[in-house]
């Protein structure tokens, strides 16, 4: 009997507490408020964007002082599926399910945000609404990027991570710490698919090499691949061999700088496991780098710069600030393994700048590239901006999405409507990934930072996000398996056959520096 | 008679424990000094930084062994408050002693209580090397606690014991990773010698070995764990091996004791107090005192002096640094101590007056590390070099080094504050705010807050970045900032002084360090060329060492233009006397050195004649 009474009492107390919590979570109707003429400042800046219909909640902080915050998000002129968040904290965390419902409903139209802040005088201030357009085109659900502290000379704890853009979940793809503080770089996927990709690594214990992953099967290739581009067929990968060195400046926003003293492009045949090159891609008087295939696989675009120095061992050579790369392309016939003659697409003499990182949209319409004042490493060049080339017309334009700082490492989504790129726009030192919508006319919308669950997370994160690559699903190979593959002794030996045109290279001697 | 003897012995036992733990506590507090342990940036290389955030909690805890890492990061903070750190270590020592005593109490050797003290003595021994052992200690403590739990089940049925062992082993793997091996081996030895089915105990040990022995570089792990690489002398190693041999001996005794208990069933009988025990107690006391003395003598004095010097430098205790330099001249890891000495002299405006009163090393001025130096010390050198570069105004080089240190050491508050300062000096407030935001999440306690630079950052947490931008430390860094965008190769300050002085002729530190550098290099022509610039700083009378150097310079030039230099005649006379004495014993350079040391040991003449550039005097 006594136990029964106690049980009833217990359930009553629990029920009461639950009810109390529920009632507290409901916002009281705000009867009176003053209206501000300005929109509330929010961080990250998620105002006036075009957002994907499948993006995770864009949580933000309201940068206005107050005791309480109310945020209402709804489709413009529709009350259905309206989200209301009441918070004592500046951080506004949007419920995921409600957010997804709202975006589904608002697909192709606009959602608006209403922000009310209760100030110290207990008065509610209503700020001007701001809105976002929900695009019809989905974004690829995953993005893989390199995650590490800003590296100058030493490295530690470098990893490749994959983030689900639909729900904020982040998973490790591979960690350098799993193979005695190794370095990982140059992750490249075939047609944005997660099943087949290559990963470069180097380690003082296990040497340098490349992991080739296909359907969870991992092969270790003894050569270090630089910047890699997969032929759309997946049958061969073109990659650069770079004699790359880092040096430093005594002043400036970015004191790091990188120079290739020599470089060439080779390609690896997956079936024969052989590495080859052709004179068009390994001219001894030029440096070829950053290969990129057209979606039909008939052309390989790449960057090529003239070697201005005699001695290829002085770092940096006096002429380091005069090195500028042209955008070039070379035809290729896969069936006959036949290469054409290299031709200049955009000349650096014409632009006065160095052209880097060509990336062609999967629909083959556009080529996105960087231009900076000099050199081969745009992420260390505050002058680096993104440009868009319309392939059919050969016209290119400077994009509005650029900032005063470096923009680089861009990637197209599989539907050619979303672009992810690395930018240092938040102060010039920390690389972050930004997303932007591209319409049919090649117009880019205002870029926004890749969302995180905690809106203030970026403010205290000292890691950089580099080389963002869209993928259509998660990579299912476990990180430990990749590390084990990097550590094992068995590997595919594939001789780099570059001689004559460019002196035969020894990749193991070439320190690859990437951010 | 029996009663008197018993109370006497009990009293003696209590007194012995009190003395031991009292000495333990005060030795750690006053001789080892936990604040020195905490101060050492280099040691913090393996010292996980605790952060007040959910992310840090989950990121740490989700890894295998994460709880131990989290706890050791948390408890490492105790060291910043000396009494708390001491109390914590004493409690761990007490826990080890208690478990040892409890276990020993079940053996036939329960009278030999000295064995229970050995773990505590080894804690002191290892802390005397100034290593951070928090993770290891907590790992050991957790294993011992679980061992104590396991020993309670020794009389349970075999299958139950196996289940309990398995459960504890898995739990320990989750919370303490490799430290589960302690538990497995200890429990295995117990089981082997206690149970009828000894193979089970053997399997316990094997499980531990297989999991962490196979596929793991066992030698590397054990060498690393035992800190063997850090023990430089044979005596150090011999002593450590002795302590660990005693551990093994101790374990065997426990096992034998257990067998004895099982056979005789004496465990429930109380021990008898006999007069002979007084002698035993006395012997134990002597042995303990002897061991303690040996351990005390094994303290790394030079390492301690280095840490003391660095700690005093944090606290701007310049007189303390100079006093320590006289009491315990630099012997090992010289460079940082030399640097501290010169910094203390500079900060008290005595560098050109007294620098040759102290041992000198040319490389210390620019903090070029010695070959074969430990990574931990390298980190500390890096940190101080960044500090020097910021003070001199060479922000670009400082930035590079600070980021390298960030990667290597982690998000240490000092490094975060240095990076924030660097970016503020460059006018990059947004970037600086990242470091200051992160800085808020790192716990800072006690001695760390004494660091003068950090006090200002603490203000920033309250009042915002604008206040900090106007602070003296940032203004000074901006004022001295090296403006030219050159490309720099290998680290060297020698070329920067003149550029720094061109930008800011009032950069007194650059001037004083340049002159000191020229004196140490014995480049008297260049020194004389720069000497007239001293008037910029309102100096009316040439400092002592400048006069001495000038006297040598003028002697070498046949005493031309003496009046132009404004040298006092007494220095010319001194130089003359020195040279005459030197010429007398010229044939025997060592003898000359010894003879002149007394009267001229603290002069530039002596350095000029006897010091080889790059070597200490």
One DSSP character per residue, A425-491 reads: TTTSSS-EEEEEEB-TT-PBPPPEEPP-SSTTGGGG---EEEEEEEESS---S-HHHHHHHHH-S--
**Chain B residues close to A253, C-beta within 8 Å:** 426, 428
Domains of chain A, start order: 34-134 (2.60.40.3760), 142-509 (2.120.10.30)
- Say if the Cβ atoms of B394 and A253 lie within 8 Å: no
| pLDDT at site A458 | 92
**Chain A residues close to B426, C-beta within 8 Å:** 253
pLDDT band at B158 (very low <50, low <70, confident <90, very high): confident
Asked if A385 contacts A398 with a C-beta cutoff of 8 angstroms, the reply is yes
pLDDT band at B245 (very low <50, low <70, confident <90, very high): low
Chain segment A418-453, per-residue pLDDT in tens: 999 999 999 899 999 999 999 999 999 999 999 999
Instruction: Answer whether residue A25 shows pLDDT above 70.
Output: no
Question: Does CATH number 1.25.40 belong to domain B302-480?
Answer: yes
Average pLDDT on B117-128 reads 81
User: What's the whole-number average pLDDT of chain A?
Assistant: 89
Instruction: Using alpha carbons, select from A81, A109, A105, A108 the residue that is nearest to residue A95.
Output: A81
Chain segment A208-236, per-residue pLDDT in tens: 899 999 988 999 998 889 999 999 999 99
Q: Which tokens hold the place of A107?
A: 């697909």
User: What's the whole-number average pLDDT of chain B?
Assistant: 75
Instruction: Using alpha carbons, select from A179, A159, A76 the residue that is nearest to residue A483.
Output: A179
Chain segment B541-586, per-residue pLDDT in tens: 889 999 999 999 988 877 777 777 788 889 989 888 888 888 887 7
Which residues, including other chains, have CB under 8 Å from residue B553's CB and lie 6 or more apart? Answer: B524, B525, B527, B528
Backbone angle region of A230, left / alpha / beta, with phi > 0 → left and psi within -120 to 50 → alpha:
beta
Average pLDDT on A395-420 reads 96
Average pLDDT on A145-150 reads 94
Surface-to-core class of residue B395, CB atoms within 10 Å of its CB (0-12 exposed, 13-18 middle, 19+ buried) = buried
Which range has highest mean pLDDT (B14-23, B221-230, B299-308)?
A: B14-23
Among A111-115, A171-175, A350-354, B61-65, whose mean pLDDT is lowest?
Answer: B61-65
Structure-derived torsion over alpha carbons of residues B19, B21, B22, B27, reported in degrees to the nearest 10: 120
Which range has highest mean pLDDT (A441-450, B137-146, B494-503, B522-531)?
A: A441-450
* Beta strands A385-390 and A366-372, pairing class: antiparallel
Asked if B537 contacts B508 with a C-beta cutoff of 8 angstroms, the reply is yes
Q: How many CB atoms lie within 10 A of CB B519?
A: 24
Among A23-32, A257-266, A332-341, B363-372, whose mean pLDDT is lowest?
Answer: A23-32
**Chain A residues close to B485, C-beta within 8 Å:** 249-252
Task: Please tell me the distance from the alpha carbon of residue B238 to that of residue B35, in angstroms, as a whole number.
Answer: 29
Asked if B433 contacts B457 with a C-beta cutoff of 8 angstroms, the reply is no
The DSSP secondary-structure symbol of A264 reads E
Task: Please tell me the distance from the alpha carbon of residue A107 to that of residue A102, in angstroms, as a whole number.
Answer: 8
| pLDDT at site B372 | 60
Helix (H, G, I), strand (E, B) or coil at A167: coil
Instruction: Using alpha carbons, select from B455, B479, B477, B459 the residue that is nearest to residue B467.
Output: B459
| pLDDT at site B325 | 86
- Say if the Cβ atoms of A151 and B483 lie within 8 Å: no
As a whole-number percent, the residues of chain A with pLDDT over 70 amount to 91
Chain segment A225-281, per-residue pLDDT in tens: 999 999 999 999 999 999 989 888 888 889 999 999 999 999 999 999 999 999 999
Chain mean position to CA B319: 21
Instruction: Using alpha carbons, select from B123, B135, B145 the residue that is nearest to residue B243.
Output: B123
A-B interface: how many C-beta pairs under 8 angstroms?
97
Every domain of chain B with CATH number 1.25.40 lies at 302-480
Mutation test of the interface with chain A: which of B386, B401, B403, B493, choosing the one with the most A Cβ atoms within 10 A? B403
In degrees rounded to 5, what are phi and psi of residue A85? -120, 125
**Chain A residues close to B429, C-beta within 8 Å:** 427
Cis status of the peptide bond prior to A316, with omega within 30 of 0 = yes
- Range A33-52 burial, b when 16+ CB lie within 10 A, else e: eeeeeeebebbbebbebbbb
As a whole-number percent, the residues of chain A with pLDDT over 90 amount to 69
**Chain B residues close to A431, C-beta within 8 Å:** none
- Say if the Cβ atoms of A253 and B423 lie within 8 Å: no
Average pLDDT on A395-415 reads 96
Among A158-162, A289-293, B47-51, B538-542, whose mean pLDDT is lowest?
Answer: B47-51
- What does R_g of chain A's alpha carbons equal in angstroms? 26
Choose between B91 and A436: higher pLDDT.
A436
Instruction: Answer whether residue B387 shows pLDDT above 90.
Output: no
Task: Please tell me the distance from the alpha carbon of residue B413 to that of residue B39, in angstroms, as a whole number.
Answer: 12
In degrees rounded to 5, what are phi and psi of residue B160? -65, -40
Average pLDDT on B516-529 reads 89
Choose between A311 and B377: higher pLDDT.
A311
Asked if A211 contacts A198 with a C-beta cutoff of 8 angstroms, the reply is yes
Instruction: Answer whether residue A164 shows pLDDT above 90.
Output: yes
Instruction: Answer whether residue B74 shows pLDDT above 60.
Output: yes
The DSSP secondary-structure symbol of B30 reads I
Instruction: Answer whether residue A99 shows pLDDT above 80.
Output: yes
Instruction: Answer whether residue A502 shows pLDDT above 60.
Output: no
Average pLDDT on B110-136 reads 76
| pLDDT at site B148 | 77
Task: Please tell me the distance from the alpha carbon of residue A306 to that of residue A11, in angstroms, as a whole number.
Answer: 80
| pLDDT at site A220 | 92
Among A315-329, A380-394, B110-124, whose mean pLDDT is lowest?
Answer: B110-124
Which residues, including other chains, have CB under 8 Å from residue B350's CB and lie 6 or more apart? Answer: none
Choose between B124 and B612: higher pLDDT.
B124
Helix (H, G, I), strand (E, B) or coil at B154: coil
- Say if the Cβ atoms of B440 and A156 lie within 8 Å: no
Q: How far is CA B457 from CA A404, A457, B287, B466, B475, in A?
A: 29, 21, 51, 12, 14
- Tell me the shortest Cα–Cα distance from A346 to chain B, in angstroms: 30
- Range A228-267 burial, b when 16+ CB lie within 10 A, else e: bbbbbeebbbbbbbbbbbbebbbbbbbbbbbbbbbbbbbb
- Tell me the shortest Cα–Cα distance from A254 to chain B, in angstroms: 9
| pLDDT at site B141 | 80
**Chain A residues close to B397, C-beta within 8 Å:** 248, 250
| pLDDT at site A510 | 33
Q: Which chain B residue's Cα is nearest to A256? A: B400
Asked if B483 contacts B427 with a C-beta cutoff of 8 angstroms, the reply is no
Element (H, E) at B425: helix B413-425
Asked if A515 contacts A150 with a C-beta cutoff of 8 angstroms, the reply is yes
Mutation test of the interface with chain A: which of B407, B461, B491, choosing the one with the most A Cβ atoms within 10 A? B407
């Amino acid at each position: 009997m006594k136990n029964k009474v106690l049980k009833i009492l217990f359930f009553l107390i629990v029920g009461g507490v639950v009810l109390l919590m529920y009632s507290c979570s409901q916002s009281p109707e705000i009867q009176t408020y003053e209206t501000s003429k300005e929109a509330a400042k929010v961080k990250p800046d998620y105002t006036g964007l075009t957002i994907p219909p499948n993006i995770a909640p864009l949580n933000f902080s309201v940068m206005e002082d107050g005791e309480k915050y109310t945020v209402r998000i709804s489709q413009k002129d529709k009350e259905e599926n309206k989200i209301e968040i009441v918070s004592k904290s500046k951080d506004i965390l949007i419920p995921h399910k409600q957010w997804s419902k709202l975006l589904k409903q608002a697909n192709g139209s606009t959602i608006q945000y209403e922000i009310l802040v209760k100030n110290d005088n207990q008065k509610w201030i209503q700020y001007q609404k701001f809105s976002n357009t929900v695009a019809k085109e989905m974004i690829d659900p995953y993005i893989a990027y390199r995650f590490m502290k800003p590296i100058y000379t030493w490295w530690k704890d470098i990893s490749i991570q994959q983030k689900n853009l639909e729900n904020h979940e982040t998973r490790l793809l591979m960690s350098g710490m799993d193979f005695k503080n190794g370095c990982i770089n140059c992750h490249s996927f075939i047609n944005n698919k997660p099943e087949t990709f290559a990963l470069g690594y180097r380690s003082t214990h296990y040497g340098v090499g490349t992991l080739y992953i296909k359907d969870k099967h991992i092969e270790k290739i003894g050569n270090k691949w630089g910047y890699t581009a997969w032929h759309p067929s997946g049958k061969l990968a073109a990659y650069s061999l770079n004699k790359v060195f880092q040096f430093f400046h005594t002043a400036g926003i970015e004191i790091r700088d990188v120079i290739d003293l020599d470089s060439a492009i080779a390609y690896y045949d997956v079936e024969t496991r052989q590495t080859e090159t052709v004179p068009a891609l390994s001219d001894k008087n030029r440096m070829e780098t950053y290969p990129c295939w057209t979606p039909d696989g008939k052309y390989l675009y790449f960057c090529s710069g003239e070697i201005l120095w005699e001695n290829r061992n002085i770092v940096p050579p006096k002429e380091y600030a005069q090195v500028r790369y042209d955008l070039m392309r070379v035809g290729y016939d896969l069936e006959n393994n036949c290469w054409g003659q290299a031709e200049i697409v955009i000349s650096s003499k014409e632009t006065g700048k160095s052209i880097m990182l060509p990336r062609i949209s999967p629909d083959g319409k556009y080529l996105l590239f960087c231009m900076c004042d000099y050199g081969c490493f745009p992420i260390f060049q505050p002058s680096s901006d993104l440009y868009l080339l319309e392939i059919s017309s050969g016209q290119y334009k400077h994009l509005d999405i650029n900032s005063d700082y470096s923009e680089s490492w861009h990637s197209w989504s599989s539907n050619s409507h979303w672009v992810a790129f690395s930018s240092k726009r938040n102060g010039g030192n920390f690389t972050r990934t930004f997303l932007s919508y591209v319409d049919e006319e090649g117009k880019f919308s205002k870029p926004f930072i890749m969302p995180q669950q905690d809106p203030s997370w970026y403010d205290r994160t000292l890691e950089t996000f580099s080389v963002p690559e869209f993928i259509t699903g998660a990579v299912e190979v476990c990180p430990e398996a990749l590390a084990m593959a990097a550590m094992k002794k068995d590997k595919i030996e594939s001789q780099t056959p570059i001689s004559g045109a460019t002196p035969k290279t020894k990749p193991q001697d070439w320190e690859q520096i990437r951010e | 008679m029996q009663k008197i003897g018993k109370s006497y012995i009990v009293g003696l036992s209590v007194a012995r424990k009190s003395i031991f733990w009292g000495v333990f506590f005060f030795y750690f507090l006053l001789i080892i000094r936990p604040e020195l342990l905490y101060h050492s940036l280099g040691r913090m290389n393996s010292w996980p930084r605790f952060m007040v955030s959910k992310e840090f909690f989950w990121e740490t805890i989700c890894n295998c062994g994460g709880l131990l890492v989290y706890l050791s990061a948390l408890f490492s903070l105790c060291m910043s408050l000396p009494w708390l750190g001491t109390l914590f270590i004493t409690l761990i020592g007490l826990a080890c002693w208690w478990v040892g005593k409890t276990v020993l109490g079940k053996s036939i050797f329960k009278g030999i209580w000295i064995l229970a003290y050995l773990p505590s003595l080894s804690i002191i021994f290892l802390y005397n090397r100034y290593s951070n052992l928090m993770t290891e200690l907590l790992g050991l403590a957790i294993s011992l606690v679980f061992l104590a739990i396991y020993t309670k089940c020794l009389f349970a049925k075999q299958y139950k014991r196996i289940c309990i062992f398995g459960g504890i082993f898995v739990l320990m793997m989750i919370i303490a990773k490799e430290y589960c091996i302690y538990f497995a081996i200890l429990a295995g030895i117990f089981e082997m010698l206690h149970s009828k089915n000894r193979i089970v105990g053997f399997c316990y040990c094997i499980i531990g070995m297989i999991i962490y022995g196979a596929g793991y570089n066992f030698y590397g792990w054990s060498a690393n764990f035992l800190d063997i690489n850090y023990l430089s002398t044979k005596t150090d190693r011999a002593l450590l091996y002795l302590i660990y041999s005693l551990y093994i001996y101790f374990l065997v005794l426990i096992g034998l004791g257990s067998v004895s208990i099982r056979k005789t069933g004496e465990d429930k009988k109380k021990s008898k107090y006999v007069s002979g025990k007084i002698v035993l107690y006395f012997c134990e006391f002597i042995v303990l005192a002897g061991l303690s003395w040996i351990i005390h003598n094994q303290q790394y004095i030079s390492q301690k002096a280095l840490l003391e010097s660095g700690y005093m430098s944090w606290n701007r205790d310049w007189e303390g640094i100079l006093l320590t330099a006289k009491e315990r001249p630099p012997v090992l890891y010289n460079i940082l101590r030399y640097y501290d000495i010169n910094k203390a002299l500079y900060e008290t405006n005595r560098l050109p007056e007294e620098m040759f009163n102290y041992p000198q090393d040319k490389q210390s001025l620019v903090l070029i590390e010695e070959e074969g130096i430990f990574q931990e010390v390298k980190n500390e050198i890096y940190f101080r070099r960044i500090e020097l570069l910021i003070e001199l105004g060479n922000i670009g080089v400082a930035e590079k080094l600070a980021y390298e240190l960030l990667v290597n050491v982690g998000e240490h508050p000092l490094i975060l504050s240095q990076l924030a300062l660097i970016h503020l000096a460059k006018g990059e407030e947004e970037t600086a705010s990242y470091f200051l935001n992160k800085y808020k999440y790192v716990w800072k306690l006690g001695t760390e807050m004494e660091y003068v630079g950090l006090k200002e950052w603490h203000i920033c947490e309250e009042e915002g970045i604008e206040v900090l931008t106007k602070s003296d430390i940032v203004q000074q860094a901006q004022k001295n900032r090296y403006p030219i965008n050159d490309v720099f190769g290998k680290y060297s300050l020698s070329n920067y002084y003149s550029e720094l002085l061109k930008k800011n002729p009032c950069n007194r530190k650059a001037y004083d360090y340049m002159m000191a550098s020229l004196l140490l290099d014995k480049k008297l022509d260049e020194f004389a060329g720069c000497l007239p610039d001293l008037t910029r700083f309102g100096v009316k009378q040439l400092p002592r060492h400048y006069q001495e150097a000038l006297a040598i310079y003028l002697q070498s030039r046949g005493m031309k233009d003496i009046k132009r230099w404004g040298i006092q005649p007494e220095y010319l006379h001194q130089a003359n006397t020195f040279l005459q004495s030197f010429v007398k014993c010229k044939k025997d350079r060592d003898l000359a050195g010894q003879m002149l040391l007394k009267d001229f040991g603290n002069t530039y003449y002596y350095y000029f004649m006897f010091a080889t550039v790059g070597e200490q005097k």
